Amino acid sequence: MVPLVSEEEAKVRIARRIAEEFAGADHGLVINLGVGIPTLVADYVQKADVFIQAENGILGVGPLAVGERIDRQLINAGRQPVTETPGCSYFDSAASFGMIRGGHVDATVIGAFQVDQEGNIANWIIPNGKQLGVGGAMDLITGARQVIIGMQHTTRDGKPKLVKRCTLPVTGFAEADLVVTELGLFAFEDGKLILREIAPEVTVEALTALTEAAFIIAPGLKTMAA
Amino acid sequence: MGDRGKFRTVAEAIALIQPGSRIMVGGFGLAGYPEGLVEALAASGIGDLTIISNDLGSPGVGLGKLLTNGQIRALVGNYYNWNPEVGLAYSRGEIGVTLVPQGTFAEAIRAAGVGIPAFYTAASAGTQLGKGKETKVFDGRTYVLERAIHADVALIKASRADDLGNLVYYKTARNFNPLMAMAAALTIAEVDESVPVGSLDPESVVTPHIFVDIMVRRV
């Protein structure tokens, strides 16, 4: 099936919309970005007092390093070479997860295979015998103050990723706060999934057909920036 | 210890490792792992090892070599997707793998080093990785009891050392190294540079020398 929004466009739209969430903060923020779409969020964060933490032990991650600036001892948690920002600091992995577990990290932005209507998140493994890794996903989801999921609305073969109940192994229960896809922005409020913004390409009916999870339409539903 | 203090050759250091040992190895991906010690361990053929590390490098690179060589009996760590040979070896029943969430892994190593036998964390509660573990509810939230992770030997990497074994690290090469330095019966540190006692700023020392038994110079 032909997607309503191309994959490239979808990723940029999701990343830009998540970055916007941080733009309005009236205080400094510390955020942790997962691999994939979440990493792109950094490109759209314009505020000087948003600090990016990577769980391998750095607070103050700068843009990806290129050319001569590549230092293989300076990487993010996705093993990409990065740069440091002024005021950056380094620490060991226990201190890093102390920041996360201790609730000092304002938000984590992660990708997911599935998010269900209870706010459960499945993002660590598709049991196929090839993958064997959990990384920091469980610690981040249970520890960060806000959990923001950036993912495409459906799988490559068009199946909903916002589901009634996760069928893949769950990473954390009732931890999702915000889900941003190329087709909408959903927030969990009092255990209910609320559609707050909708993409210009879809109607509520079309979006409902692509979403297995039950959701409520926010009064004053907004159009998401394309 | 003679004139060389804690310094030994890589060969002398590796000769201290017994087959069947539980070995912690510092590093995250290919950053901050003791490359010279890992190369020598791979060349030694010492087998039946349990490797406790964040990941297992890439296929045939870094710690990946130990798997390619068939030196590994079991792995304890958290992220092996960078080395698909791990998933294959596990599914063929050739090695055991215990996956631990990364934050729990770090804290369990720290705990071992500082005399804490177990601790509670919310990570993995109710999930596949929390299965069979004791839980307890504190203030309405469920936590999993996690045991400390000890080892016979820790192979770690530091940037600079003085002759006593005080260590300083470099950028994100620090990762698990200072934690593992505390958690093993024998800690062997590979260092890029050594300086005389008194020339490191005491305020900048990350791992005090009490945790370091043997040092090798990176050549």
Q: Is the pLDDT of residue A2 over 70?
A: no
- What pLDDT is stored for residue A70 in this prediction? 97
Residue B89 phi, psi (nearest 5): -60, -40
Give the mean pLDDT of chain B.
97
From the CB of residue A182, how many other CB atoms can be counted at a distance below 10 Å?
27
CB A107 within 8 A of CB A31: yes
- What pLDDT is stored for residue B219 in this prediction? 76
**Confidence class for position B2, pLDDT limits 50, 70, 90:** low
Contact A132 B86 (CB under 8 A): yes
Q: Is the pLDDT of residue B93 over 50?
A: yes
Q: Is the pLDDT of residue A1 over 60?
A: no
Amino acid in the structure at residue A195: L
Ordered by start, the domain boundaries in chain A are 7-223
Amino acid in the structure at residue B127: T
CB B197 within 8 A of CB B163: yes
- What pLDDT is stored for residue A131 in this prediction? 83
The residue assigned the tokens 């006692």 is B197
**Mean pLDDT, rounded, for B86-101:** 96
**Mean pLDDT, rounded, for A23-45:** 91
Residues in chain B closer than 8 A to A138 (CB atoms)? 101, 103-104, 123-124, 127, 129
- B10-100+149-217 to CATH, choices 3.50.50.60, 3.20.20.70, 3.40.50.300, 3.40.1080.10: 3.40.1080.10
Q: Is the pLDDT of residue A9 over 60?
A: yes
Residues in chain B closer than 8 A to A137 (CB atoms)? 101
Give the mean pLDDT of chain A.
95
Residues in chain B closer than 8 A to A132 (CB atoms)? 80-81, 86-87, 90, 97, 99
- Tell me the two tokens of residue A100: 């996360």
Return d(Cα B50, Cα B74) in angstroms, integer: 5
Return d(Cα B207, Cα B195) in angstroms, integer: 15
Return d(Cα B168, Cα B160) in angstroms, integer: 5
Return d(Cα A148, Cα B52) in angstroms, integer: 31
Q: Is the pLDDT of residue B191 over 60?
A: yes
Return d(Cα A31, Cα A42) in angstroms, integer: 10
* Helix (H) / strand (E) containing A219: strand A216-223
From the CB of residue B87, how many other CB atoms can be counted at a distance below 10 Å?
18
* Closest by CA position to A35, among listed B76, B79, B204: B79
Return d(Cα A183, Cα A223) in angstroms, integer: 10
The residue assigned the tokens 């990350």 is B206
Residue B58 phi, psi (nearest 5): -115, 165
Contact A74 B172 (CB under 8 A): yes
CB B168 within 8 A of CB B200: yes
Q: Residue A216's beta-bridge partner residues? A: A194
Return d(Cα B201, Cα A90) in angstroms, integer: 17
Q: Is the pLDDT of residue A36 over 90?
A: no
**Does domain A7-223 sit in CATH 3.40.1080.10?**
yes
**Mean pLDDT, rounded, for B147-161:** 98
Contact B31 A56 (CB under 8 A): yes
- What pLDDT is stored for residue B40 in this prediction? 98
| Residue B186 backbone zone (phi > 0: left; psi -120 to 50: alpha; other: beta) | beta
Return d(Cα B5, Cα B167) in angstroms, integer: 15
**Confidence class for position B1, pLDDT limits 50, 70, 90:** very low
Q: What is the pTM of this model?
A: 0.96
Count how many Cα atoms sit within 13 Å of the Cα of residue A57 in the half-sphere of its side chain.
Answer: 27
